[in-house]
Amino acid sequence: MGDRPQPADLEVGQEVGRREVTVDRARLVRYAGASGDFNPIHWNDRVARSVGLPDVIAHGMWTMGAAVSVVVDWAGDPGAVVDYQVRFTRPVPVPDPGSATVEVVAVVGALDAEAGTARIDLTVTLDGVRVLGKAQAVVRLG
């Protein structure tokens, strides 16, 4: 496939992708079904408030999964993402009615010429505040 990124074209600090992803309650129900994570704090206001949350919150794993698609699309092949980690630092409350919009910015964090990989660092924010920490994907390059 011709569109895989090449190491020679990359430098640390370079932005490789940017995307806004929107999440509403229906999206959370869909993710619950697809993932098998039926924790009610992700779809039931009453339960979410009873455990001290401001509102229903998105699955951290939804946010992690949605954020990496910008990396997959840049990498050109989902199989090129060989490692992906995040720290969940803040919840993403999802109002009803309405939705929450998370912004994802992907930047080259490090290059490993020997391994032929790039570490892509993701900045994932809600209203300008980070919701994921140390969000890093390692991509095998073309």
Partner 1 sequence: MPVDTSYAGREYPPNAAYDVGREKLREFASAVGATHPAHLDPEAARAFGHPDVVAPPTFAVVVAQRAEAQLFEDPAAGIDFSRVVHADERFTHHRPIHAGDRLVTVLHVDSIVERAGLAMITTRAEIASQDGEAVATVVSTLAVRPEES
**Alpha carbons 109 and 113: distance in angstroms, whole number:** 13
* Choices 8-16, 75-83, 112-120, 122-130 (CB under 8 A): range interacting with partner 1: 75-83
Phi-psi region of 47 (alpha: psi -120 to 50; beta: other; left: phi over 0): alpha
Specify the DSSP class assigned to residue 40.
Answer: G
**Alpha carbons 35 and 110: distance in angstroms, whole number:** 31
Question: Residue 94 CB, nearest distance to partner 1 (Å)?
Answer: 14
Q: Which residue do the tokens 């697809």 mark?
A: 34
The total of other beta-carbon atoms located within 10 Å of residue 141's CB is 20
Nearer to partner 1, 18 or 87 (CB): 87
**21 binding partner 1? (CB under 8 A):** yes
The contacts of residue 117 (CB under 8 Å, 6+ apart) are 82, 111, 138, 139, 140, 141
Q: Which residue among 85, 99, 101, 116 contacts partner 1 (CB under 8 A)?
A: 85
**66 binding partner 1? (CB under 8 A):** yes
* Choices 7-15, 26-34, 93-101, 115-123 (CB under 8 A): range interacting with partner 1: 26-34
**58 binding partner 1? (CB under 8 A):** no
By the criterion CB under 8 A, which residues form the site for partner 1? 1, 21, 27, 30-31, 33-37, 39, 51, 60-62, 64-66, 68-69, 71-73, 77-79, 81-88, 134, 137
